[in-house]
């Protein structure tokens, strides 16, 4: 039985109206919006979108032209593109006054607030490197990000400052701290509002230009941290081109969907999106916000995810786009009050970053009448490499889609030799979205980035039309609701407990989150520890989402292969029996 019949979806008559190659030839022809050219990127001939903005500064200037169109909505704070740009220019000028020069690192640690895109573009538009830090990190983890990046200036919200303050002395490069939305009196730092005001007052800021800056497309722009399989997180050093590439990659997917239906791609349609992924992830910052700024879309932020509040916002603001991770879609589908709200404005629910059941693809279409969307990318590719939307996704629900026209994929064996179509091996990717390197990690960079390709560590296969199917992860990682949890990081914390002599972290399937972390532990003879005790031990040292939801204790040491590696594939059965 075919996948489409299993899902209860059958191809509409005449679909697809064009093959992928015909779509490519139509959209990428000379003079068309998606035309591309080959340029030299760090010594590698690379296909790039010809019409992508050359820098984040150029994108900000373009976005200014949307004027009184709403850019962000957060509770009662409604910020227009014009007001946002005024705040960016004011803060960029302030950064310059404080000695922030090209290449200096400006760290950004806050939840999704209107200030986030202001700080991000104020830094990158003057050639500084913005370092978005995971807002869920503990104080120790935030200290590492600040010290490793050598951040000269930090902009954070009050909640993050509470965690960071005790660690400031361990960050010798950190000369300035600006804190937003700070309630109490802390004379050791300055308030961001004292420099640019609150979002409500941004429209009254001077209509000024940003300070001059000479920025090339391949200059460094960001450091996003991605957890390493061993040791501390690695900072992926991204360029301006990496981020602006996503603008046309996302737009191409929408145009491809229209042509596959036999329709003319819509032009200049401005949408309203409910953004629920944290902006410190490349999915939200690069794959979502870059395209929104270019097109003039509106982004709505939530203080924290709440399904009913999301329903209220979708109904009130006529939201067209939402998603993020499969968790969000499942919670919306299964909520008992869903039918009480008018959700008919939803056109697309897209997600990535976690395994999704093919059933979810059908449910989105059936329940909301919205089209599902998915894609594949990673921090090292600044998000989008493949995109999968609408009928193509319904037709191939287990795929993450074909690569965008400026990207290439290949499947290799362990020796790096390319494998034929249909065979499973390690997925390699290349294109103008691939980051420069790992920050100050030459050995890790040399291992991962090879002649323009990034070795992803994912096991995958490609079909005859180029659709990619992620089969498994070669890296030892659990993905919980879109958050990467590298097993070794949690295992090392467990090993630090005096009672633990053997530990392994695995992922347990979860309908909404994709996976949840669980641990199997062996205790030293004569020692005791409870599940609650070890969970608290991990919670004190790592972000909450990394804490095992279950911990099982075994009498014997864990099973290993001849090389001493724990046989994790055998451990999942223990939880089924318990």
According to the model, what pLDDT value does residue 3 have?
39
Structure tokens at 29: 């022809």
Using the structure block, give the residue that is written with the tokens 């990682």. Answer: 477
CA distance 248 to 286: 11
Q: What is the CATH number of domain 3-51+239-473?
A: 3.40.50.12780
Full-prediction pTM beyond 0.85?
yes
According to the model, what pLDDT value does residue 483 have?
87
Q: Which residues pair with 224 in a beta bridge?
A: 236
Structure tokens at 357: 């059941």
CB-neighbour burial class of residue 455 (10 A; exposed 0-12, middle 13-18, buried 19+): middle
According to the model, what pLDDT value does residue 5 have?
34
According to the model, what pLDDT value does residue 6 have?
38
According to the model, what pLDDT value does residue 451 have?
95
Which of the following CATH numbers is that of domain 477-577: 3.40.50.300, 3.30.300.30, 3.30.70.890, 3.40.50.150? 3.30.300.30
- Backbone φ and ψ of 37, nearest 5°: -140, 165
- In order along its 578 residues, the chain shows pLDDT tens digits of 233 433 568 899 999 999 999 999 999 999 999 999 999 999 999 999 999 999 999 999 999 999 999 999 999 999 999 999 999 999 999 999 999 999 999 999 999 999 999 999 999 999 999 999 999 999 999 999 999 999 999 999 999 999 999 999 999 999 999 999 998 777 788 999 999 999 999 999 999 999 999 999 999 999 999 865 456 899 999 999 999 999 999 999 999 999 999 999 988 889 999 999 999 999 999 999 999 999 999 999 999 999 999 999 999 999 999 987 777 888 898 899 999 999 999 999 998 755 566 778 888 999 999 999 999 999 999 989 999 999 999 999 889 999 999 999 999 998 899 999 999 899 999 999 999 999 999 999 999 999 999 999 888 999 999 999 987 666 678 889 888 887 878 887 898 898 988 888 999 989 888 899 999 999 988 899 999 999 999 999 999 999 999 999 999 878 875 445 677 877 888 898 76
Structure tokens at 15: 């679909």
**Contact status, residue 352 vs residue 372, Cβ threshold 8 Å:** no
Residue (of 347, 267, 275) closest to 72 by Cα position: 275
Alpha helices in 296-380 (DSSP H): 307-317, 326-334, 358-368
Q: Give Cα 315 to chain centroid, integer Å.
A: 26
Local structure of residue 524 (DSSP, 8 states): P
Do the first three CATH levels of 3-51+239-473 and 76-215 match, i.e. the same topology?
yes
Angle at 347 between CA 316 and CA 321, to 5 degrees: 65
Using the structure block, give the residue that is written with the tokens 């709403």. Answer: 70
CA distance 318 to 390: 20
According to the model, what pLDDT value does residue 473 have?
66
* Cα dist from 451 to 45, 315, 421, whole Å: 10, 49, 22
CB-neighbour burial class of residue 35 (10 A; exposed 0-12, middle 13-18, buried 19+): middle
The CATH architecture to which 76-215 belongs is: 3-Layer(aba) Sandwich (3.40)
Going by their DSSP bridges, the two strands 453-462 and 425-430 should be labelled as antiparallel
Instruction: For the chain, give every domain's residue range.
Output: 3-51+239-473, 76-215, 477-577
Going by their DSSP bridges, the two strands 105-109 and 153-157 should be labelled as parallel
- Backbone φ and ψ of 502, nearest 5°: -150, 135
Angle at 58 between CA 56 and CA 62, to 5 degrees: 115
**Contact status, residue 281 vs residue 482, Cβ threshold 8 Å:** yes
Residue 3's CB is within 10 A of a number of other CB atoms, namely 15
Residue (of 234, 230, 327) closest to 276 by Cα position: 327
């Amino acid at each position: 039985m075919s996948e489409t019949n299993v899902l209860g979806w059958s191809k509409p008559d005449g679909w697809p109206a064009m093959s992928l190659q015909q779509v490519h030839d139509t959209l990428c022809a000379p003079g068309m919006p998606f035309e591309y050219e080959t340029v030299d990127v760090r010594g590698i001939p690379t296909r790039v979108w010809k019409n992508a903005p050359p820098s984040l500064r150029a994108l900000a200037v373009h976005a200014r032209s949307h004027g009184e169109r709403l850019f962000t909505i957060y509770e009662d704070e409604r910020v227009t593109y014009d007001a946002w740009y005024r705040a960016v220019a004011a803060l960029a000028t302030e950064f310059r006054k404080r000695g922030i020069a090209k290449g200096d690192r400006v760290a950004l640690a806050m939840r999704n607030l209107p200030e986030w895109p202001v700080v991000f573009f104020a830094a990158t538009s003057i050639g500084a490197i913005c370092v978005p830090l995971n807002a869920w990190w503990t104080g120790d983890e935030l200290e590492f990000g600040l010290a490793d990046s050598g951040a000269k200036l930090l902009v954070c919200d009050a909640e993050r400052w509470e965690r960071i303050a005790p660690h400031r002395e361990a960050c010798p490069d950190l000369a300035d701290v600006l804190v937003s939305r700070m309630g109490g009196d802390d004379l050791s730092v300055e308030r961001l509002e004292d420099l640019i005001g609150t979002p409500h007052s941004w429209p009254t800021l001077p209509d000024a230009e940003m300070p001059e800056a000479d920025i090339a497309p391949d200059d460094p722009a960001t450091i996003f941290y991605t957890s390493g399989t061993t040791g501390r997180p690695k900072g992926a050093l991204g360029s301006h081109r990496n981020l602006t590439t996503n603008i046309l990659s996302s737009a191409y997917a929408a145009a491809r969907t229209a042509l596959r239906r036999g329709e003319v791609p819509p032009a200049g349609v401005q949408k309203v999106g409910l953004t629920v992924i944290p902006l410190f992830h490349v999915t939200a910052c690069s794959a979502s916000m870059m395209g929104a700024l270019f097109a003039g879309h509106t982004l709505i932020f939530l203080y924290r995810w709440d399904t009913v509040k999301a329903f209220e916002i979708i109904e009130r603001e006529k939201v067209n786009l939402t998603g993020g991770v499969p968790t969000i879609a499942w919670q919306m589908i299964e909520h008992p009050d869903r039918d009480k709200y008018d959700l008919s404005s939803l056109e697309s629910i897209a997600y990535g970053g976690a395994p999704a059941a093919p059933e979810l693809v059908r449910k989105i279409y059936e329940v909301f009448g919205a089209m599902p969307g998915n894609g594949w990318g990673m921090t090292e590719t600044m998000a989008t490499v493949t995109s999968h939307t609408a009928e193509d996704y319904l037709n191939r629900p287990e795929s993450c889609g074909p690569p965008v026209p400026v990207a290439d994929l290949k499947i290799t064996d362990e020796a790096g030799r390319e494998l034929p179509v249909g065979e499973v091996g390690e997925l390699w990717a290349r294109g103008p979205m691939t980051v420069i390197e790992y920050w100050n990690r030459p050995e890790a960079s040399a291992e991962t980035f090879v002649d323009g390709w990034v070795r992803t560590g994912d096991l995958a296969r490609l079909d005859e039309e180029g659709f990619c199917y992620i089969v498994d992860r070669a890296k030892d990682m659990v993905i919980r609701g879109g958050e990467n949890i590298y097993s070794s990081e949690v295992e090392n914390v467990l090993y630090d407990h005096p009672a633990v002599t053997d530990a392994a972290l695995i992922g347990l399937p979860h309908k909404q989150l994709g996976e949840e972390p669980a641990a199997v532990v062996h205790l030293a003879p004569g020692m005791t520890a409870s599940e609650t005790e070890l969970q608290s031990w991990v919670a004190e040292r790592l972000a909450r989402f990394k804490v095992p939801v279950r911990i099982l204790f075994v009498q014997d040491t864990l099973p290993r292969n001849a090389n001493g590696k724990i046989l994790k594939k055998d451990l999942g059965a223990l939880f089924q029996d318990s």
